[in-house]
Structures are given as structure tokens and as C-alpha cells.
A = this chain, B = another copy of it.
Amino acid sequence: MAKTAVSPTRAENYPEWYQQVVKAADLAENSDVRGCMVIKPWGYAIWEGIQRGLDTRFKETGHENAYFPLFIPMSFLEKEAEHVEGFAKECAVVTHHRLEPDGKGGLQPAPSAKLEEPLIVRPTSETIIGATFARWVQSYRDLPILINQWANVVRWELRTRMFLRTTEFLWQEGHTVHATSDEAVEETRKMLDVYAEFAENVMAMPVIKGEKTAGERFPGAVATYSIEAMMQDRKALQAGTSHFLGQNFAKAQEIKFQSQAGELEFAWTTSWGVSTRLVGGLIMSHADDDGLVCPPRLAPAHVVILPIYKSDEERATVLAYCESLKAELATQSYEGEAIRVKLDDRDIRGGDKKWQWVKRGVPIRVEIGPRDVAGGGAFVGTRIGEKPQGMDRAKLVAEAPAMLAQLQQQMFDRAKQARDDASVVIDSLAEFEAFFADGQPGGLVYAHFTDGPDMEAKCKELKVTPRCIPLEPLLGDDGPGKCLFTGAKSERRAVFARAY
């Protein structure tokens, strides 16, 4: 087998392969703060692409961005604690507002600057946004309120993995308020659709839209919906959630409005979010043993041009050719924007340079040497698919947009094929247990169920979770059946899998 750019390979050690791809593709690195990562320019550019794509969709569906404080007063969480047995919250607690010398050459939190009430670094902004909405909402005329926030949040994590679970992460949280239940339900489902469309069309990541079972629901939500993707190790990744909160949060947060009929009513709220976890999903959907593979719609560079020369004289002619090719390619458009072309003229070894862009997952690589200049050609490789080959320059320029579109489609098809290959319909508990037995490859199981302790106990035993009850059943769309766990009548199947 040929040597791979990333070691170990997926087959050898999947978790370690993941960390090595993050490193090889220059996506992120551990920082000097435990559990917090530095998102490097290439990784951040991918996140910017995700932000831009989602933000446009949020605005097209009538949402506006706003910004709420980083800190939550501790008392805001005390209400929540009242309702939770053995409440404990892993979060960053701010207790002082000044540092001073400790008299031993170091610093200490100044005892004289202890806060009367500790502040929590937001693990989510639910409570502080709710308190704000209670001020904003008076009348039905103030509704709906459709707000989104792009922010950093902190949840103290013991075991972290870059992008998938970090103490600090970046996300967006949508929070909306409506006059009726119907409107709020519609909003919840609309944003789930936005997430699914984005995941599939932009990230090339097929997802299952579904409702969470009771045990997996967001605490306090009436219904939680999610998009679930399957990673290459056949584990599921929850890639986005959308919650219909009923009047539960409005009651806790006193979000009331005067209806058109003049009565004071509690409002109906929703919330929905995705995070930098999506970058982890992108990696595990598409990367291979040579590193990241960027879907063209999110690639920070669509095409990288790599000049190859030996002498100064060659350098001059090759670089001039590359510059004009770059300009010509940039006149072409893909997805309504100029093709993003990078010319890498750094003075480093050609092999290292090429592999850097392979590992970063740039869709199209173009190598230009003196012979290409002489012949008016280019040596073109794509990140997946055919072997690199010589190509006429004019043909490359003309076909670049179609090549990108084709790569985008291929990536989606490949990921969907992998998911379909790993998806099964199962109708007996014995089969279910055998499917998830140790040493088996695992995958997605469509099975009848009834929500409750029997199912949960068996799932726990097998280290499996019900991922969701698909809204549009993909497999086993065969009407009612019998719950695998209790034998009771079941209306719908859920999807079960091991998960991140």
C-alpha cells in the first residue's frame, strides 16, 4: 500500500487519525489554556464560510443578529437549580474583578475585589436573552422576535477533542418569541430545514432530520429536533438542534404579551444552534488518509497553483505564466462568486508544498513547470477522483467551475453511499444486539421502539443512543410495528447508533 500523508490511517486508529488530520490540515492546535484550542487561519476560514452561509440563510428567513453579555449572574442559574436534583454545573465562574501582587512576586485575585454575586461565563445565553426579551415584549405588535447571536460559549469539559468538544467553542444561538404555538412550531421546523439544507448542499454532508426521543430532549423543551450525520467510523454526529420550548421558558422568564383581544398571555419560544463542532463533522465526513477534503462550496481556496522551476530564468517565465493563469481563473465564477485561486510561490521544496495543499484539502491543484509554459498547458489534479493529468490551459479555465460542481456532488454522493451502506432495518432485539456487539462495524439502525426505561436501559448497555425519529423516514418506511424493547405497538421507527 502506498504511504499516506496522514498517519495513522482511519483503519489503523480512527480517533488518532482525526487528531492528525486537524494538525496536518492546519485547522487548529491546543492552546496554553486547558481544553481551549487555537483555531488556525485555514480552520477559521472554513468556519467563516459556515458562518457566511448560515448567516445569509438566517437573514433570508427574517432573523436579525444581536449581541448579549458574555456573563450570566449566578442568580439566573439558581432558578434552574431549584428544579434539578443534585444540580452541578461545569462552567467558568468569575469571582473577582482585579488582580494584585501577592507579595511573593506573583499575582492573586484581589480579596478587596471579590464580586458580591459571582458571574458565570455563558454556557448558553438562554437565561440572559430571556430576561431581555421579557423587557422587549409587551404587545402582540412586538411579535415575532427573531434573533440570532454569533458568540463564544464555555462549558468546562474534562475530556476534550478539537472542534468536537472543547471548553470554549464558537456557535450561533437563535432565540425567537411568537404569539402562537403554531408559529413557534413552524419556526422550529423551518430552522431545522435551514440546517439540513446547508449541511447537505454546502457541507456535502447528508443528514437525517428528526425529533429527539424524550430522554434526549433539551431540558425544558416540548420537542427537540436535530440533524444527524454519520461519520466515517459509522458513529452518528448531532450536527444541529432546534427546540420548540412551548411556554415553558416564557413562564420561567416572564415573557408575556397583551394579545389582540387584550388579554395577557405567555409567549411561545424556540431556540436553535450549531457550533464549531460542524468543522469536526466536516472532517469526519470527508477527510481521508491524505488529510482534509474541502467541499468546494466551503473551500477557502478552490484552486492552488504551484510553480515548478529549477533556475532563476525558469522561475521568471513560470511565475509570469502562473500569475496570468491565476487572473484568468479568477474571471470564472462558481456559485455566484469569483473562483478563489491561490498562487503559492513560497520558496520551499515542491513536494512539501504540494502535500501541504493536499492535506489542507484544496479541491483543484495545478502544477506549472517550464514544459507546461512551453505547451500552453497545466498539470491538474483534483483532491478526489481521477489521477492528475496534463490539460490544455484554456480547457482548464473553461471547465474549472464544472469541475468544482462535480467535486461537490461527488463528495455528497460518496458520503451518502457510505451512510446508506451502513444503514439497516432491524426488527428483532437479538439482531439489534448482534449489530452493536463489540467488534462489529456498527452503523445506523432503523427500529421500532417505545420511549421509556426499557429502551434506555438496553441502549445504555450497548453504548447506543436513539439519535432521532426521522421526519421523513428513509428506511423501514413501513407503517406501525412492534417495539424491539417492550413488544408494545410502535407507530414509527427511530434511528439508533453510537454517537459523538
A38: Cβ under 8 A from any B Cβ: yes
Q: How far is the CA of A45 from the CA of B152 in the complex (A)?
A: 19
When the two chains form the complex, which single residue of B70, B90, B151 contacts A98, counting CB atoms closer than 8 Å? B90
> Contact at B119–A33, with CB atoms within 8 Å?
yes
The interface-forming segment of A72-80, A187-195, A235-243 is A72-80
* B41 engages A170 (CB within 8 Å): no
A168 to B94, CA, bound (A): 14
A214 proximal to B (CB < 8 A) = no
* Interchain CB contact under 8 A, A67 and B88: no
Q: Flag whether A299 is at the interface (Cβ < 8 A).
A: no
Closest to A149 in B: B44
Q: Mark A226-237, 1 if CB is under 8 A from B, else 0.
A: 000000000000
Q: Which of A14-22, A106-114, A244-252, A372-380 contacts B (4 or more CB under 8 A)?
A: A106-114
User: Residue A70 contacts which of B45, B47, B121 (CB distance < 8 angstroms)?
Assistant: B121
Q: Is A358 an interface residue (CB 8 A)?
A: no
- Measured as residues with beta carbon below 8 angstroms from the partner, the interface class of chain A is 35 or more
Assess whether B93 is in contact with A98, with CB atoms less than 8 Å apart.
yes
Is A90 touching B96 in the complex (CB atoms < 8 A)? Answer: no
Within 8 A of B (CB), among A147-171: 147, 151-152, 154, 156, 168, 170
Given A44-B65, A90-B98, A99-B89, answer yes or no on A70-B107 (Cβ-Cβ < 8 Å). Answer: no
- Contact at A66–B90, with CB atoms within 8 Å? no
B92–A168 touching, CB < 8 Å: no
A177 at the interface (CB under 8 A from B): no
| Chain B min CB distance to A252 (Å) | 15
Pick the contact of A65: B41, B64, B68, B108 (CB < 8 A): B41
Q: Say yes or no: B71 contacts A36, CB within 8 Å.
A: yes
Determine if A31 is an interface residue (Cβ-Cβ < 8 Å). yes
On whether the beta carbons of A118 and B128 are closer than 8 Å, the reply is no
Interface centre among A29, A66, A67, A110, by most B CB within 10 Å? A67
Q: Identify the 7 closest CB pairs spanning chains A and B, nearest first.
A: A41-B64, A36-B69, A39-B67, A93-B96, A97-B156, A89-B99, A93-B109
- Asked if A392 CB lies within 8 Å of chain B CBs, one says no
Q: Using a CB-CB cutoff of 8 Å, which residues 109-150 of chain A contact chain B?
A: 109-110, 118-121, 128, 131-132, 135, 141, 147
Q: How far is the CA of A364 from the CA of B291 in the complex (A)?
A: 52
Is the beta-carbon distance between B92 and A32 smaller than 8 angstroms?
no
User: What residues make up the interface of A, taking CB atoms closer than 8 Å to B?
Assistant: 29, 31-33, 36-41, 44-45, 47-48, 64-78, 81-82, 87-101, 105-110, 118-121, 128, 131-132, 135, 141, 147, 151-152, 154, 156, 168, 170, 346-348
Closest partner residue, chain B, to A157 (CB atom): B97
A82 to B97, CA, bound (A): 20
A141 nearest CB neighbor, chain B only: B348
B98 adjacent to A91 (CB under 8 Å): yes
In the complex, the answer to whether B109 meets A168 with C-beta atoms within 8 Å is: no
Q: How far is the CA of A45 from the CA of B41 in the complex (A)?
A: 25
Give min CB distance, A313 to chain B, whole Å.
22
Contact between B97 and A94 (Cβ–Cβ < 8 Å)? Answer: no
Q: Which residues of B lie under 8 Å from residue A65 when comparing CB positions?
A: 41, 44-45, 48
In the complex, what residue of chain B is closest to A76 when comparing beta carbons?
B32
B121, A101: Cβ atoms closer than 8 Å: no
Shortest Cβ distance from A80 into B: residue: B107
**Docked complex Cα distance between A147 and B108 (Å):** 31
CB pair A132–B31 under 8 Å, yes or no, is: yes
Q: Which residues of chain B are near A69, meaning CB under 8 Å?
A: 31-33, 36-38, 168
Contact across chains for A73 and B32 when beta carbons are under 8 A apart: yes
Contact B39 A152 (CB under 8 A): no
Closest Cβ of chain B: how far from A460's Cβ, in Å?
Answer: 25
List B contacts of A121 (CB < 8 A).
70, 94, 121
Chain B residue with the shortest CB-CB distance to A118: B109
Query: Bound complex: CA of A68 vs CA of B44, how far in Å?
Result: 10
CB atoms of A41 and B147 under 8 A apart: yes
Which residues of B lie under 8 Å from residue A45 when comparing CB positions? 64-65
- Determine the chain B residues whose CB is within 8 A of the CB of A91 once the complex forms: 97-99
Contact between A107 and B77, CB atoms less than 8 A apart: yes
Contact pick for A68, options B31, B70, B73, B81, CB 8 Å: B31
Cβ contact of A97, chosen from B48, B71, B92, cutoff 8 A = B92
Minimum CB distance partner of A55 in chain B: B48
